[in-house]
Structure 1
Amino acid sequence: MNLRLLQHRAGDGTRSVIAATSAGAAFVPGIDSVRTLASKAIAASTDLATTIAACGVGASVDIAAELAAGRLLAPIDHADPAHLIMSGTGLTHLGSAEGRDKMHRDAAASDTQTDSMRMFLEGVEGGKPAAGAIGQQPEWFFKGDGSGLVGPGEPLVSPAFAQDGSEEPELAGIYLIGPDGTPFRLGLCLANEFSDHVTERHNYLWLAHSKLRRAALGPELLVGPPPQHIDGSSRIRRDGAVLWEKPFLSGEANMSHTIANLEAHHFKYDLFRRPGDVHVHFFGTATLSFADGVTTQEGDIFEIEAAPFTLPLRNPLARAAAASVAVKAL
C-alpha cells in the first residue's frame, strides 16, 4: 500500500499529520508536522512507516473533504522559511530538450546546436551511471526559500515585473538534513515548478531570473521508493472551461538521469547539508503549455494530477501589485 503523508490545519489553527493508504486515512497522534515526524525517525534510526506505527492510530479522516475545505497544507514546511531551500534540475526528462531547444534556437536564429541540446544529450549519455557511481551533472537552479512555497489551492502569485507565469508539472523530492549532515529523502510530491518562460526565452542567461518564482506542492507526500513510471495530466482552466490539457510523464523510466544522480549533484555541496534544513528539489518536466503557444492570464487555474497520488494540485494564477524598492546607503 502506498503510504502518503499530509499536513492538516484545523479551523482553530491546530496542526496535525495524516497518514493515508489505500485502506483509508487517519491522524497520527502527537505529531504536528512532517518535519517533526521525520526528525523522530532519524533520531530513532528507523523509517517513517515504523515511526507512524509507534505513534498509534488517531481518528479517521476524509482527505478529499479536507482538501475541499481548504484545511490541507503543503506536505512539508519549516518554522523558519529561510531554512527551507527550493532548487531544481532541468533537461532531465526524455523529450524535455525539444521545447527548450526550439525556444533558444529561435532566439539565436542559428543552426548551431544550443547549449540546452548539448546538456540534454550529455545527460542521456551519462545521467544514469551504475549504482554507486556519479554520472553527468545536470542543469541546476536555485528556486527560492520557504517563503515562496505554496500549498494546494493557494494562488501562485507572479511578480508585477514578470513577463510570464506558466506551469511546470513535475515531481519534487523532499529532504531533511540529519544532525550529522546526512540528507534523508522523505518522499516525493506532485509539484508545479512555476516559471517565467518569456524571460528565459529572451536570453538563456536569464534562466536564473526566470526561476525565482513561487512553486506549489500537491497535498500528498509519497513515502517509499520512487515509482519508475508516473503518468499524469496537466491542464489549465479558464472561466470554468479547459483551455489546455496534456499528459505528462515522470519517474526514472521517462528520465535521462536517475534520481540518485540528481541527488548526488545537489547534495555534493556542503552548503546543502546543513543539519535541520529542509530541501524541496524539483526533478524537471517535458510538458509545458508555453511550448504549445499558451499565454496565461490572471484567474487561470493550473491543475496537475497523477497516480499514485490521489488528490490533485490546483492553484490559481495571480499577479502581485507593483512595488518600488529603493536602496539606501548607510
Structure 2
Amino acid sequence: MTLRLLQHRGDDGARSVIVADDAGAAFVAGVDSVRGLAAKAIAAGTDLSTAIDACGRGAAVDIAAELAAGRILSPIDHDDAAHLVMTGTGLTHLGSAEGRDKMHRAASEAAVQTDSMRMFLEGVEGGKPAEGQVGQQPEWFYKGDGTGLVGPGEPLTMPSFANDGGEEPELAGIYLIGEDGTPFRLGLCLANEFSDHVTERHNYLWLAHSKLRQAALGPELLVGPPPQHIEGSSRIVRDGAALWEKPFLSGEANMSHSLANLEAHHFKYALFRRPGDIHVHFFGTATLSFADGVTTQEGDVFEIEAAPFTLPLRNPLARAAEQTVTVRTL
C-alpha cells in the first residue's frame, strides 16, 4: 500500500495533515504539520505509519479537489525558514551527463573530456557501493533555505537578473534531523529543481549561481521504502497548449548513485546534522527542455507528474521586479 502525506490549510487558516493511501484520504488527528508528525514518530521510536495509526484518522477528504481549491501546501516546511535547507546533487542519473557535457564543451575550445563527464563516469564506477560502505562523492550544490520553497500552484519566480528559468523534473528526499543529530528520511517528493541553465552554460563555475533559485515540491510526500523505478512526464504548457513534453526516469534503477551514497556524502558534514532542521535534497535529473533548445518565457506553466504520486506538480513561470541593492559602510 502506497502511503502519502499532504499538508492542508483551511479557509480559516487552520493547518492539518492528510494521509492518503489506496483506500482514500483522511485528515490525521492531533497534528498540524508533517514535521510535527515526524517528531512524534522519532520520540516514540517508531515510524510514520505507526505514528499515524496512533494519532487516528478523521474525516475523509478529496485531495484532488482540495488541490484545485488551493488549500494544499508544500508537503514539508519549517516555522523558521532558516532551518529548512535546500541542497542537491547532479550528474546522478544514467544519461544525465549528455546535456551537461554538451553544454560545457560548447563553452570550451578544448576537445578534452569535460569535468562533468569525468564526474559522471566516476559516479557510474563508484556511486553504488556495497551496503555499509561509502562510494564516490557526487557533484553537490547549495540551493537556498525555506524562503525559496514554492508550494503547489504557486509561481516559480526567477530573479530580474536571470538569463533563464528552466525546469528540472526530479525527486527530492525530505529529512528531519533528530535531537541526537540523526538524519531521518521522511520520504520522497516530486520536485522541480528550478535553475538558470543559460548562466550555467556560460561557464560551469557559475553553476553555484545558477542554482540559487526557488524550487517547488509536489503536493505529496511518499512514505516508506523508495521505489526503484519511477516513470514520469515533464511538460511546458504555453497559452493552454503543450509546447514541449518528454518522459523522465528516476529511482535507483535509473541512477548512477544509490540514495544511501548521496545521503552519506551530504550528512557527513556536521552542519547538516543540526537537531530540528529540515533538509530538502534534490537527487538530480537527466531530462531538461533546455537541452532540447527550448527557451521558456513568463506565463509558461511547468507540469510534472509520475506514479505512484497521484497529484501533479504545476507552477507558472514569473520574473521578479528589478531591485537595487546598495551596500552601506557603517
Report the TM range for the smaller structure's normalisation.
Answer: over 0.9
Q: For the residues of structure 2 that align with 1:44 and 1:55, how far apart are their CA atoms?
A: 12
Tell me the equivalent position of 1:173: 173
| Structure 1 residue 111, shift from structure 2 partner | 1.1
| Structure 1 residue 291, shift from structure 2 partner | 0.1
Post-superposition CA distance 1:167-215 (Å, at most 9, x none): 0000000000000000000000000000000000000000000000000
**Within the alignment, does 1:250 sit opposite 2:250 as a pair?**
yes
Q: For the residues of structure 2 that align with 1:279 and 1:219, how far apart are their CA atoms?
A: 17
Q: For the residues of structure 1 that align with 2:76 and 2:253, how far apart are their CA atoms?
A: 26
Tell me the equivalent position of 1:69: 69
Q: For the residues of structure 1 that align with 2:294 and 2:109, how far apart are their CA atoms?
A: 22
Tell me the equivalent position of 2:141: 141
Tell me the equivalent position of 1:278: 278
Q: For the residues of structure 2 that align with 1:51 and 1:208, how far apart are their CA atoms?
A: 39
Q: For the residues of structure 2 that align with 1:323 and 1:220, how far apart are their CA atoms?
A: 34
Query: Is the partner of 2:188 in helix, strand or coil?
Result: strand
Partner amino acid, structure 2, of 1:117 = M
Query: Is the partner of 2:72 in helix, strand or coil?
Result: coil
| Structure 1 residue 99, shift from structure 2 partner | 0.2
| Structure 1 residue 109, shift from structure 2 partner | 2.5
Q: Please, which runs of 5 or more residues in structure 2 have no aligned partner?
A: none
Q: For the residues of structure 2 that align with 1:224 and 1:99, how far apart are their CA atoms?
A: 32
Write out aligned runs for 1:162-241 (5 A): 162-241=162-241
Q: How many residues align?
A: 330
Partner amino acid, structure 1, of 2:181 = G
Query: Is the partner of 2:120 in helix, strand or coil?
Result: helix
| Structure 1 residue 110, shift from structure 2 partner | 2.2
Q: For the residues of structure 2 that align with 1:275 and 1:21, how far apart are their CA atoms?
A: 30
Q: For the residues of structure 1 that align with 2:56 and 2:118, how far apart are their CA atoms?
A: 52
Query: Is the partner of 1:122 in helix, strand or coil?
Result: helix
Q: Please, which runs of 5 or more residues in structure 1 have no aligned partner?
A: none
Q: For the residues of structure 1 that align with 2:39 and 2:128, how far apart are their CA atoms?
A: 31
| Structure 1 residue 56, shift from structure 2 partner | 1.0
| Structure 1 residue 328, shift from structure 2 partner | 0.6
Write out aligned runs for 1:87-106 (5 A): 87-106=87-106
| Structure 1 residue 127, shift from structure 2 partner | 0.1
Query: Is the partner of 1:139 in helix, strand or coil?
Result: coil
Moved over 2 A (4+): none
Tell me the equivalent position of 2:46: 46
Post-superposition CA distance 1:99-147 (Å, at most 9, x none): 0000000110221000000000000000000000000000000000000
Q: For the residues of structure 2 that align with 1:236 and 1:24, how far apart are their CA atoms?
A: 30
Identity %: 83
Q: For the residues of structure 2 that align with 1:22 and 1:64, how far apart are their CA atoms?
A: 14
Q: For the residues of structure 1 that align with 2:281 and 2:35, how far apart are their CA atoms?
A: 16
Q: For the residues of structure 1 that align with 2:327 and 2:60, how far apart are their CA atoms?
A: 53
Q: For the residues of structure 2 that align with 1:151 and 1:65, how far apart are their CA atoms?
A: 16
Tell me the equivalent position of 1:17: 17
